[in-house]
Amino acid sequence: MRLIYHRILTVSLALSASLSTAALAEKMAFSSSGAKTQLIELYTSQGCSSCPPAEYLLSKQLVSKRLWKEIVPIAFHVDYWDYLGWKDIYSQPSFTARQRRHFQLGNISNVYTPGFVVDGREWRGFFRGLDIPQTRTIGGNLNLNWDSESQSATVSYQDFTQQPKYCYFAILGFEQGIEIQAGENSGLKLNQDFVALQVNKTVIEGADSHYQCQTTLNRDDLNGKAASHSRAIVSWVTDSSERPLQATGGWL
């Protein structure tokens, strides 16, 4: 376990160094088509003693050949454990509201951490020591374009079989060795990977199976968060029940 952990840390730092020049590119494009790229959501908190193993499972995806091609992981840090003595620096009320919306829509059985939602459905296999399930259903064609100069992101989506409702854009951060100084995880140093730093939601527009949406995101994340070693951008489209129809993304 410890050897794997060090390999993940090494790979993460190497990616950070090698990809730093990629962030200078003014325009980048990412796409998914055919088989649906899985959206893996983890609801977590730095103040939850049960969460570090779940975050480790997410961090393992850094060395997965499936990353960005078949899976898009994202960690939403909720704020309902902040009262335990340590305020999670990544927690946002909107992420708690997102998890509660999953509950209201019947996508999950309760609101708790660590909580996994895979392809819009609750996944409790983590508690039985299982790996994240792999599903390869057919999805639409999703194209994400990022312009670093204007910090604008646009999506075009084509789907002949399902009606999309919402379009999401997110900037993800990757931190190594965050020191937790109070609360249930006091004294631990945590790796925080695939952390949702900014998430924008829009209603996707279009007709005749062709849809578009756009937003503005701050890649440098000037929101008071700790500086990241690297960044990624992801996007996904969902139906009205918040179940993803397709996802894509990659390193910035």
Of 238, 29, 58, the closest CA to residue 146 belongs to 29
pLDDT > 90 fraction of the chain, expressed in percent and rounded: 82
Whether 4 has a pLDDT exceeding 80, the answer reads: no
| Domains in the chain: boundaries | 2-251
In tens, the pLDDT along 163-184 reads: 999 999 999 999 989 999 999 9
In tens, the pLDDT along 179-201 reads: 999 999 999 999 999 999 999 99
In angstroms, what CA-CA distances link 160 with 64, 139, 141, 167, 211? 31, 10, 10, 17, 11
Task: Report pTM.
Answer: 0.88
What span, in angstroms and rounded, lies between the C-alpha atoms of 82 and 244?
A: 29
Question: What is the mean pLDDT of the segment spanning 209-214?
Answer: 96
In tens, the pLDDT along 39-94 reads: 999 999 999 999 999 999 999 999 999 999 999 999 999 999 999 999 999 999 99
Rg (CA), the chain: 17
Q: Is 85 left (phi over 0), alpha (psi -120 to 50) or beta?
A: left
Considering only residues 38 and 16, tell me which one the structure prediction assigns the higher pLDDT: 38
What span, in angstroms and rounded, lies between the C-alpha atoms of 141 and 194?
A: 23
Question: Band of the pLDDT at 10, cuts 50, 70, 90?
Answer: very low
Helix axes 2-19, 51-59, angle to 10 degrees: 50
Whether 7 has a pLDDT exceeding 50, the answer reads: no
